[in-house]
Structure 1
Amino acid sequence: MRTPGVVHHGTLRRRAAYRRALRTAGELLVTVGAVLLLLVVHQLWWTNRQAREGAERRVEALEREWRRPAPDVTAAPDPGEDRPQGAGAGAGTARADPGGRTGTARRSPGEQPRRSPGERPRGSDAYAVLTVPRLSLRVPVAEGIGKRDVLDRGYAGHYPRTAQPGRPGNFALAGHRNTHGEPFRHLDRLKRGDTVEVETRTAAYVYAVDRTLPQTAARDVGVVRPVPRSAVHPSYGYSEPGYYLTLTTCTPEYTSKYRLVVWGRLRSVRPR
């Protein structure tokens, strides 16, 4: 007859410890997976919802502010302003005012103080509205390209030291392609001839999409120069002064390795 095997207490303890370790590891993996899922949901859904709602409210606030009668303030002409040539009817009558006129009138909560026509926006002020019909896009334009105070709010950010809308040179904007409202998510869908409108208190500037640079280095500063031309791909860009619009965003999607660039030219100016 075979003698039944004897299992020592040490062996039982090792098996129990092994089972506990497996159970603990499984619980940790489930917890980590749940946390990662929550982070993905937060980045891809919640930040988009928050940013889009905030951007919509800011657009509405700007429009309410612009509908209010401007105070009777005599402002000196802006010596740096030139009139666009060949930009359509009314091109010589509209001022490229980034934020309006100065005044002491009371303003609603969240509205920006009014500025004189020649004054540049301050800080991360939202002072214009960008509309792209093909993309069903309508978002505020704010000064600067900082993530926390501009881009992560779902705004289009104006590159400092580039031209203002309707002015000679290059009016250059940046926007997120993914998360935080992702206003430039489908920038690659724009085609030659598509319109892009930039509204300020005093005028609406209509640009027509002209050229696209599908991919360039993140540090390709040539694309936002007054006469935009890629320093990495010199065959993309322009060689003569003009009234340009530049839209930039990250590419490929969900990365920030390269930049996608869309250029346009000023087509017309419509006084408000």
Structure 2
Amino acid sequence: MRARAPAAQVVRHRTLRRRAFRRRALWTCGELLVTLGTVLALLVVHQLWWTNRQAEQGARQEVRALEREWGSSAGGSDPADDTDGTDGTDGTDATSAAGASGSGGSGGSSDSSGGAGTGSTRRTNSGSDQPSWSQAYAILTIPRLDLRVPVAEGVSKPDVLNKGYVGHYPGTQQPGQAGNFALAGHRNTHGEPFRYINRLRRGDAVQVETADAVYTYTVDRTLPQTSAHDDGAIRAVPRSTVRPAYGYRTPGYYLTLTTCTPEYTSRYRLVVWGKLASMRLR
């Protein structure tokens, strides 16, 4: 018998159109995913690289501007050259020196006078003057971290922290004053000046330079993690309200450094405390 030829397959136009639509839909979705991935990658590069580069450059320029204004040499002074015989163990040995310096202001409150710029318009913590809001007025140097950044009044993200500066908490004391000189800084992005403060160890030097004096603090204690709302850490006598085992019970001359933790989050705070060891008038 003669074999039958296979029947020709009939493809309807509706089926062809459906297949073409599916191919176009898949192609469009693929293009959208590639575009979205590219945009996300660019955002990550912007946050993790460009903001750091921009902020670090601006912070370095501000440090140089302060140095020129004060007539100091670049790079600051060696912490070892600032010691004056105090042992820095409890923050009280520097009391008489800090009190006699006349360089403490009235505390960096939120009603600080406005103004910006350099030269005659820049205000410092000298005498009764208060730092201008969001204006850099001091330089923070941490040799162990190879860090040297400006300190500005306030902790506003757009006006202070995102510039790569370290911000002074309004209402806390100024450098060298009795009480707590409390600072905040980014741990990631925007210069990330406090990226590695978890590496600080007891006895490490931290310098704060102003127009009038250079104050040397020594790291004393670290609170690895606490609530973002733990305001006890920046009180005049710093003591965590969340973890009361961390902190102090007696008045002194304290320095507080705060930043976010874990890295790339802002859920908790990492706190490093130090005590005033010595000061040197300019």
* TM-score in terms of structure 1 length: 0.87
Question: Do the aligned partners of 2:126 and 2:211 also contact (CA within 8 Å) in 1?
Answer: no
Aligned residues with identical type, % of pairs:
64
Residues 74-85 of structure 1 aligned to structure 2 (within 5 Å): 85=92
Give the CA RMSD over aligned residues.
2.1
Deviation at 1:27, TM superposition (A): 0.3
Paired AA for residue 8 in structure 1 = R
| SS class of match (1:268) | strand
SS in 1 for 2:19: helix
Give the gaps of 5 or more residues in structure 2: 73-90, 106-116
SS at structure 2 position matched to 1:236: coil
Q: Give the 5 Å matches for 1:5-154.
A: 5-67=9-71, 85-87=92-94, 91=98, 93-97=100-104, 112-113=122-123, 117-154=127-164
Structure 1: any 5+ residue segments left out of the alignment? Answer: 69-83, 99-106
Q: State the Cα deviation string for residues 144-192 of structure 1 (Å, max 9, x = none).
A: 0000000000000000000000000000000000000000000100000
Q: Relative to 1, partners in 2 of residues 1:110 and 1:187: Cα closer, same or farther, differing over 3 Å?
A: farther
Change in CA separation of 1:109 and 1:268 when aligned onto 2, cut-off 3 Å: closer
Runs of 4+ in 1 over 6 A off after TM superposition: none
Instruction: Give how far 1:96 is off.
Output: 2.6
How far apart, CA to CA, are the structure 1 residues paired with 2:155 and 2:118? 26
Change (3 A) 1:166 1:192: same
Return the offset for 1:112.
2.1
- TM-score, normalization by structure 2: 0.84
Once residues 126 and 99 of structure 2 are traced to their aligned partners in structure 1, the CA distance between those partners, rounded to angstroms, is 19
Larger-gyration structure (1/2): 2
Report the residue type matching 1:17 in the other structure. F
In the TM superposition, 1:154-193 aligns within 5 A as 154-193=164-203
For residue 33 of structure 1, give the secondary structure of its aligned residue in structure 2: helix
- SS in structure 2 of the partner of residue 34 of structure 1: helix
Question: Whole-Å Cα distance in 2 between the matches of residues 205 and 114 of structure 1?
Answer: 15
Q: State the alpha-carbon separation in 2 of the partners of residues 173 and 115 from structure 1.
A: 15
- In the alignment of these two chains, the number of paired residues is 250
Quick one: structure 1 residues 114 and 193, their matched pair in 2 at CA, closer, same or farther if it must change by over 3 Å? Answer: closer
- Indicate the residue corresponding to 1:78 in structure 2: none
Distance 1:111 1:46 in 2: 31
Does 2:209 match 1:202? no
**2: CA distance, partners of 1:128 / 1:39:** 32
User: Greater CA deviation, 115-124 or 178-187?
Assistant: 115-124
Corresponding residue SS for 2:224: strand
